[in-house]
Structure 1
């Protein structure tokens, strides 16, 4: 390589170390979801029937941790793995949020998984979760195709 040529850049400016870090964090979260039973269909079912507070306590704790994390990120000026500043921009409230929330909640209640735990379920050998994952992918691509005609 000559002195004037630049080294080849990685996609999105993320190093191999960054990818490995994300993979390890994802594996840790998957284990955490399975061990805390967040990925358990029965726990989700009991939550929606108001039979137990297990999931509500976990969700409340997650919200508190996210709030503290955002405060720390803002105060310290933390940057993402690709060097960009991390900022929070609230999304506008509209009819599509209500419709999307109802569809998300119905899917969550029927399948016992939202987008995070479905990967933990697949990783834990719950083969029926492949249908949930397929439905989530279908919903994602369907939304992308219909987005121009949906209320935003």
Structure 2
């Protein structure tokens, strides 16, 4: 029986350093994504009619969910700061507020318009696709085009 303490095998260390994260990390992230998709579907956050009703101020369902998410995020940030929790890469998690400027207003209006038209902000797009709402693929394509357009135009935009 060998009692020497040996580091992990070179193969597992190499696999972890090459990709930046272990396969277990990817499995955990995938499971969290599946859980979030189920949560979006069951809470009806990914339903176009719920989003439409929110923007028309017909019901408070989405506002309550968004408010709850804000409270959970605030508590989570307090816990992260209090216990100096690190990311999965071992780096400290820090929050750096972004400066407020007219570009934030313009971007927010574009984001809100896209959300109102498509019924999805970036997270629920995947839940909609997973639920078989195939038109959400067009929303995903539009979101990707918007992201690439922003990246290309970023030097010319107000920051």
TM-score grouping bracket, smaller chain normalisation: over 0.9
Q: Any residues of structure 2 matched to 1:19-98 within 5 Å, and which? A: 19-98=26-105
TM normalised by structure 2 equals 0.90
* Cα distance, 1:132 vs structure 2: 0.4
Cα distance between partner residues in 1 of 2:82 and 2:31: 26
Per-residue CA deviations over 1:78-120 (Å, capped at 9, x if unaligned) read 1111100111110000111000000000000000000000000
Cα distance between partner residues in 1 of 2:92 and 2:44: 34
The alignment partner of 1:67 has SS state of helix
Report the counterpart of residue 3 of structure 1 in structure 2. Answer: none
Paired residues in the alignment total 146
If asked which structure has higher relative contact order (CA below 8 Å, sep 6+), I would say 1
- C-alpha RMSD of matched pairs (Å): 0.9
Answering whether residue 156 of structure 2 is matched by residue 149 of structure 1, we say yes
Structure 1: stretches of 5+ with no match in the other structure: 1-5
Report the counterpart of residue 4 of structure 2 in structure 1. Answer: none
Structure 2: stretches of 5+ with no match in the other structure: 1-9
Runs of 4 or more, structure 1, over 6 Å off, are: none
* Cα distance, 1:10 vs structure 2: 2.5
Per-residue CA deviations over 1:29-85 (Å, capped at 9, x if unaligned) read 000000000000000000000000000000000000000000001101111111001
Cα distance between partner residues in 2 of 1:126 and 1:68: 33
Cα distance between partner residues in 2 of 1:10 and 1:62: 35
Cα distance between partner residues in 1 of 2:128 and 2:18: 32
From 105, 119, 124, the equivalent of 2:126 is 119
Cα distance between partner residues in 2 of 1:138 and 1:45: 23
- Structure number with bigger Rg: 2
TM normalised by structure 1 equals 0.94
